[in-house]
Structure 1
């Protein structure tokens, strides 16, 4: 007499989409096993109560010793199942199928001892079939249908009927009709609860699977963008170097050297070319090239202060309020991806509000909070709803929205989050929260970093001596 009281639970929130799907299936199998265990305990308690009420309340004699022996075997099997559910090994369809067959066998034994096919609770077989349809593969479900049908037929052929008077004409006062009513109400109530909760959890599982697929698509998109950016950086290196040489030649020409205004423009052009070369170098560093130069030890406040100073001097911002309330400084390694993420947010805010920006840094518990505030038109409702999705932009140009898309993905990779909302007085606020554990150096990390730096320095020294010897 199994019953369903709890929904199937779905778990699994992993970083890699493929691993997430595998873990989701594994966790679902364990939750299904736990579900059957809970149903079995409910069945044990329900059968004990039913047997006692029928035997002593209705005065219908039942073989209590044999029926309690069956319940003891069911409880022992449930204890073994409980130990199995605690094992990290994947729960297979075969194990769930075997568990349901045991439930069918114990239900058949109890019905055989209490009237067989004439027992009003014989229709609890339907619950076993429904459980199989929800939890098992198709072939297993149909096997459950065949087994329960054969058990029903066997009970009709070989079991003894209950010693119940044929008083159906008494309506609800008939014990048999009362048993049928209880069985119907139990089946109906459990089916409603079970199916409703299962449907809700299946929808939640589908939503998680959709999220995993979306993340896989976004990661693939980022990889393609990284490859394109790396290739473009390589291709841009030569023309930028050529332009730098040409501008250097122009600076020495009499026509330019005698005209201060032209010299100023040439200097500005060289500065912008140098900035382009720095951007290209940053792309290559982010792609994993020239890794020996890609990181250096610093502190959180120093990193942010230098980033702000560099950004302020290279952007045409009129009024920029910067407030660093980080407090006690902590060591970290300069990260080009983190730097690019912050610059993307500042660039987007500057484009929306060229007259005024505010950048705040705060230390909240174990997290670093970066808040960018602007006085622009704010985000459209549709953009707020789909924030962080690629190509969601109000700028109306091809490729728009990729900056914030990358911001969200970098923050998510570091275990953080990005929150956005519009200000009542106009403008928008973008708040980035990052766990300090993802960016701050621990003592062991500092020692490893020092050893790595020392090893790189030794290798470079040996390489220099080797080149000197070859010369």
Structure 2
């Protein structure tokens, strides 16, 4: 089974087009209704002089665009980044035109220019959001200088220019703040979603390997009997044929290929009995063997693995726990061990301990330890002490922590007092010995 590097598929966006066209048109319908009601209320309700003709022409432009979109795309459509940015840019310009006719920044609804920027920061790229921020700030700058008078009574209403400048500064800061804050929160959510998807992919791969191992063991058992029958029958035929017979070579080939098949099946059976890590996940084994299965795939020539297993204190003797072969634990421990081996100078110590209540696994390397300031953030997605140029995306530890916590374990990272990095994983014994018990992770 070919192994596809996790980085090849875990970080690509699941959907290239970030937003539904229907979502943007629905938001625009709400804006159209609100703008029309506000214009009518100010003109007829408060009796202020509003240029209804030009103002409703601007609202009609937005209405017309929505109708064109609905007739041109009757089925659900997702917009690409550029198309979505263009839609939001139109909304900014349409609202700016309406504000131009109704008092500019003196209009209390000028704060609505923040909305398209916030939407962009949530769903679009940082480049598109920056472009919309620039467009919004350009619009409020123009509106601060040029605009129709604010609709008011016959005596008029004059806002000091200093106050208008304050509104401009507040809106500019608001645009930048909302863009940065909203984008940061949305980016964290996107990265967490991507990291969790990578965790699911890693777990699915372990489960597939375990399932393939179980199928291989079953095939070795089921095919042994018919292959034995074929071998006996072909041997009988070979004894009845003379070496000069035209079928003799074919029968000998059949015998040799049958023997080869039996050797392959015997090897599969031996792997199952020796505890290979592709055996069915429902096989029970001692906990130290589970840790060994996680470590064996990451052994390196230049790093020695020191595996040890110890029971609890003498006053509390306990038999070694027998646990299910869990793909989550095997992959999670394997990732921690692999990380230790990559940073170790010569040695990685892996100690498994148990007593009547807990099962503990301590992993320690003799490397430089965790980088300063990294310990508090270890386990977060995309956090790595290595340079990004190596292709490492900082997801390994996050995936390991997620899978181990899913199995009911608690994980802690620290720098050992004797040097090197250390990782401690602890489970309640009954959680691993009774997989049906709800885990606390």
Higher RCO structure, 1 or 2 (CA under 8 Å, sep 6+):
2
Q: TM-score, normalised by structure 2?
A: 0.43
Higher helix share: 1
TM-score, normalization by structure 1: 0.40
